[in-house]
Amino acid sequence: MKTQDSGNSLNVIIADDHVLFRAGVKTALSLKKDIRIIGEADNGQQLLHLLRHLQPDVILLDIQMPVMDGITTLPEIKKLYPNIKIIMLTMHNDHSMISRLMELGANAYLTKNSDPEVIYEAIKTCYANEYYFNDLTNKALLDGLRTRRSAEVSGPAEVKLSEKEKQILKLMCDEKSTKEIADIVDLSPRTVEAIRDKLKTKTGVKSMAGLVMFAIKSGIIENK
């Protein structure tokens, strides 16, 4: 597996049915020496076919596409290729959609009018730290939390976390990488990953987005 210090380029595939948008993103990213566009797709079905032959580190995936859209494609990719990071792209700022996609496994969510530098930063951050959180995703996750709270008939069962688990969860929410967390808490990266999996099991969530929502609800991180 590549590391960001190795000097190797990150391989990226763009899946979007708008040719001009793909061309614009491709042109902007081609100026970056550490990014390599290895494939393009018009729809999710074509993307899944490409993935049989190509191994990207990150996929830029449009939500609205013909034949097979990004919402349908996202869980399929995560099931078949769990290590690929997926950045969802859309024209719309829809908080309920963002929350849903993050829970389905999306690693970031950007609007199509995002500056190329933001897309570049998201690609690099997702690869290094698994997730790229911005104001859009943070507000969407908080909205999702509020909606869940109002829909709850009774409070959730209390989940007891150790101080070490709380510390690691807070560091994860601060977007620290597994290695950075391991150095801070003086554990091996493998142990940190095991604790992360245990946290998901304990809290009953399936993604980092769910853990962030749990951390806010539990007061482990501040609801800003």
Residues near 13 by beta carbon (within 8 Å), at least 6 away in sequence: 37, 38, 39, 40, 41, 47, 50, 51, 54, 56, 58, 59, 60
Residue 198 CB-density burial (10 A; 0-12 exposed, 13-18 middle, 19+ buried): middle
Assigned domain for 149 exists? no
Question: Could you read off the pLDDT of 152-178 as tens digits, one per residue?
Answer: 434 445 778 889 999 999 898 887 888
Instruction: Establish if 222 belongs to a structural domain.
Output: no
Q: Where residue 80 sits, what CATH number does that domain have? A: 3.40.50.2300
Q: Are residues 39 and 131 in the same domain?
A: yes
In a domain, residue 152? The reply is: no
Q: What are 41-57's pLDDT values in tens digits?
A: 999 999 999 999 999 99
Helix axes 19-30, 116-129, angle to 10 degrees: 70
What is the CATH classification number for the domain harbouring 199?
Answer: 1.10.10.10
Domain count, the chain: 2
Q: Kindly state whether residues 103 and 183 are assigned to the same domain.
A: no
The tens digit of pLDDT for each residue in 189-199 reads 899 989 988 89
87 and 20, same structural domain?
yes
| Structural domain for 85, as ranges | 10-142
Instruction: Indicate the pTM of the whole model.
Output: 0.68
pLDDT in tens, 181-220: 999 999 998 999 899 888 988 888 877 777 887 888 777 8
Beta bridge partners of 60: 14, 87
